[in-house]
Amino acid sequence: MSENPGPGDAMPDVAMELPDGGSVKPSDFRGRKLVMFFYPKDNTPGCTTENQDFTALKPQFDEAGVALLGVSKDGPKQHRNFIAKYDLAAPLASDAAEGGLSDALGIWTEKQNYGRTYMGMVRTTYLVDAEGRITRVWNKVKVKGHAAEVLEAAKTL
C-alpha cells in the first residue's frame, strides 16, 4: 500500500456530491487556497462543533482568500438538514462513493470503539495551495481551537 498523500503532494482530484445535487472536486478551487476538513458524521457533538467553528471564522477565511470545504460520508440530504439545523456557512460535500477522496487520502479506515471494529473517517484537515498541492495536514484533529489554528496557518500560505 502506498503512503498517504501529504505535504508537497497534489491533492487527489476526486469528485464529491454537493447538497444541491451538483458535484465538486479539489481542482475546482485552483487559483485559491483551500481548507478541506474531513469529519466523521453530521449531527454528532464534535462534528457539529467543528462545523460551527469553521462557520464562525468563514468571513476571515474569505478575507484571506481561502475556500472552505467540509467533507464526510453523509449523503447530500443529510448535509442539507445539517446545514439548515445549525445555519452552517462552510460548504459541505458528500464523499460517500466507494473509492472516494477519503479512501484516496487513506483517512477512511478501520476504527475501534468500545471493542467494536468498523470503518470510519479519521478527523483530518488539509491545507491546499492555489496550485492544488497539499501544504499541511492535521491528523486526528482535536476540535477545540482547531479552526482558528487552521486559519492562522492559511494566512501564512
Give catalytic residue positions: 47
Secondary structure of the chain in the HEC alphabet?
CCCCCCCCCECCCCCEECCCCCEECHHHHCCCEEEEEECCCCCCHHHHHHHHHHHHHHHHHHHCCEEEEEEECCCHHHHHHHHHHHCCCCCEEECCCCCCHHHHHCCEEEEEECCEEEEEECCEEEEECCCCEEEEEECCCCCCCHHHHHHHHHHCC
